[in-house]
Structure 1
Amino acid sequence: MRDYDALLAFVAGRTTLPFDWKRNDCVRYAAGAVLAQTGVDPLRGVIRWGTARGAVRVLDRMGGMEAAVSSRLTAIAPAMAARGDIAGVPDDDLGLRLMVIEGETLVGPGDAGNRRLKRSVMTHAWRAC
């Protein structure tokens, strides 16, 4: 069961928190959103980086972002993704960037706080629980 109030509080708490490889990158954001709504941290023990280079190294060892996330969450068709599920959108550096589905928008960390994109840019999705 999902706790949508906790998910909303998690997203609201990140409103002005900028992207940061040590505290608020897309993987930490997605994992935090899943933890907030389910009480389970799906990426426990996976996040061991503090730089872009470190993230690429860890994710490459896991087969890339898609494989890393799919090893912890169930992949689903983007059209089947619901509020609180995790979205993958194209990213030049990591191949995929993770965001959280709000409904018609996706939310994740940006330079000045939460960044939102249209749901239509989502190319991958994973069930949060």
Structure 2
Amino acid sequence: MRRIDFIVIHCTATPQDTRPEAIQHYWKEYLKWKNPGYHYLIEASGDVRQLATEDRICNGVAGHNANSIHVSYIGGVVADNKPLDNRTAAQRNSMKVLVMRLKQQYPQARIQGHRDFPFVKKACPSFDARKEFGDL
């Protein structure tokens, strides 16, 4: 069992109607990743897709993947690729339920956004995850 120190919150930085298969295709064909970027992906409908089991390492944050679980929602930007927290109510609810479960499973893990790691120069997940989940 891996030691989990972080529950990392992401956005896909894509339109909200992007299909999970398109995201996975991008990782595999263009980035040449063997593992997905996230363990969990939350669609605009609120449906949660598990892309990898929690014992697998995903490619969410360079240098921090061995000890992290990655959760992402589809969206996070507007048409001109400017960051925007555009989660649907269903995504917010599903994310809260999932993150609560993960925090119970990994009580020592810190919840934070991708942007909260050192040397990350992106707005992902387009909101302050530490503040939003600070009560967990």
TM-score (norm 1): 0.29
Q: Answer 1 or 2: which has greater strand percent.
A: 1
Q: Answer 1 or 2: which has greater helix percent.
A: 1
